[in-house]
Chain A
């Protein structure tokens, strides 16, 4: 087990390193400069480049950046907030993004589990069909389409909730984005829970529990659900990762000052350090989630652990 975890951690670190390198090379290839003021002469630009160390070759900059990063210094912003520490900018915005993601995940998990359990308990009835239909819709329709529809009907037509993010009422303005973002986790978890639970209910050990005379609800909570939830936990990682992709568009639609929007602004303004920091934070969240899921898999399912150790 230790060897397995060590291997996973090493691969994750290598991946992060490669990502950072790729980011640096892509930044270098990107057209334009962060200093877009037309009044600047070439000499002034050269001075600015020298000041920020941008005149050095890519690899030198890369290793310097790595060294600073280990100390928690992500450089300064060139264009968005001149000379402002990037780590501070990222920290401010990360909180909001995580809040939206956590809300969406909570809504998605609860709703998904309920739908899935309801469908499995009423297998092959109209309730089952309805739940399946809801989950197929949820899987198929991208989160930002849901966001647009919610925006139009609930926020604009009915005027129940604010359209744009309002700093004074953060919780109320985060409801719609979180609901829009939760559609796909709901559908995915519902689908998975349903098929897993039907599998468990048809298994021999549940038949044994049933024949021993254990009461219905006790059997479902104590035996069926327990065995259903283990695999469901393992799919939550990939779902969380997918949530990240959806979130930047949602942030744009609802005007939430989150990390996804910061990254897009940074890319448009050629603000190298901010772009790299945002992309890196995204990658970090992604990789940590994947690492966590992989290790969880190993802990939960001994077959995977053994297979990996034999590799």
Chain B
């Protein structure tokens, strides 16, 4: 407890003198919103690592399948289930083509052949298959984002902006659609439609946009009563001008973040469908179909399973880290949590 019984004397205090002290008014240059977001994003190490790995995986998905002489459907009789062998690394005792102490490549009479990720049960090169499978999974993910933005955002914008009867009807409709479990509808559509990327995308399209629609609507409701919208309306702007050039830019941050979170979800659903045997048709590969193929020979040749599992897990992890970082960057309140 400090001593409060204290008498002040007249010489306890001095007058403040401005002796040569200059008043410095610090000014900061104005930063744009986009730059703010980027600055916040840069501070998040996880998100940066995420985006770097995503770019690397996209790059590999584009050039990877062309990096050796194999194609994704070429079957090499007699070279089944080879374990990975990489030139250079084989001297270090890893990736040297030995399985249970035997040189598989010598046994299969394939001394000059290198399967960087090994070969699968039908003698196909896993390296090529993994990267072309990643390509398929990424295409599905991209489609999911486009669907999310095109259908979900527009639906939410219209529903939130017009309100009243239109909003009520649109919301009830979305609620009913949302009540159908994705699992059920996707499985059944997988059966009805011919197998292929288009069918998977269509199945995703049916219910995938509802999360985005809700977020977009909530954001519109928040923004539409603000003064700048009112002023724009007073100046005679039409409804569509207000929606697309006044409200949309203000909710874009949330929309982008939400669409990023739908990517891992789409990759997961594709993998789920493949696992049930409803994925892309046979010689084609996707990450999901590679995992479900590898699962069948998991106990004897684990590399067939482990490699696509690692690529898929890393991809999903990085998209999650990236989306997390993006969300924090758009909403600085979340930063220090």
A residues at B contact (CB < 8 Å): 11-12, 14-16, 18-19, 22-23, 26, 29-31, 136-137, 139-142, 144-145, 148-149, 151-152, 156, 195, 198-199, 241, 244-245, 248-249, 252-253, 263-264, 267, 275, 279, 282-283, 286-287, 290, 311
Contact = CB atoms under 8 A, between A and B. Distances in A.
A29 B190 CA distance: 12
A249 B313 CA distance: 17
A263 B312 CA distance: 27
Given A151-B298, A244-B181, A290-B179, A137 B275 contact: no
A188 B279 CA distance: 28
Interface of B: 46, 168, 172, 175-176, 178-185, 187-189, 191-192, 264, 268, 271-272, 275-276, 291, 295, 298-299, 302, 305, 309, 312-313, 316-317, 319-321, 324, 337
Contacts of B180: 15, 18-19, 22, 283
B117 to A, nearest CB: 18
A249 B276 contact: yes
Nearest to A248: B183
A279 B191 CA distance: 14
B268 A142 contact: yes
In the A-B complex, the 3 residue pairs with the smallest Cβ-Cβ separation, listed nearest first, are: A15-B179, A140-B317, A140-B320
Given A136-B324, A253-B295, A29 B276 contact: no
23 contacts: A14-B176, A15-B179, A19-B180, A19-B184, A29-B192, A136-B321, A140-B313, A140-B321, A141-B316, A142-B271, A142-B272, A145-B312, A148-B291, A152-B298, A241-B181, A244-B183, A248-B276, A249-B275, A264-B187, A279-B187, A279-B188, A282-B184, A286-B181
B313 A282 contact: no
Residue from A136, A144, A244, A267 having most chain B Cβ neighbours under 10 A: A144
Given A142-B268, A148-B309, A195-B337, A245 B295 contact: no
B168 A267 contact: no
Contact of B316 (A23, A140, A144, A199): A140
A248 B264 CA distance: 19
A136 B317 contact: yes
Given A11-B175, A15-B175, A144 B317 contact: no
B100 to A, nearest CB: 14
Contacts of B268: 142
Nearest to B308: A145
A12 B268 CA distance: 27
A245 B272 contact: yes
A15 to B, nearest CB: 3
B309 A11 contact: no
A274 to B, nearest CB: 13
Contact of B179 (A12, A249, A275): A12
Given A148-B291, A252-B276, A264-B276, A282 B181 contact: yes
A16 B319 CA distance: 34
A141 B172 contact: no
A282 B298 contact: no
Contact of A141 (B46, B275, B313): B313
A141 B176 contact: no
A98 B170 CA distance: 34
A257 B146 CA distance: 38
B291 A145 contact: yes
A23 B183 CA distance: 13
Given A148-B298, A152-B302, A245 B313 contact: no
A141 B309 CA distance: 10
Given A140-B313, A245-B272, A311-B168, A283 B298 contact: no
Nearest to A245: B183
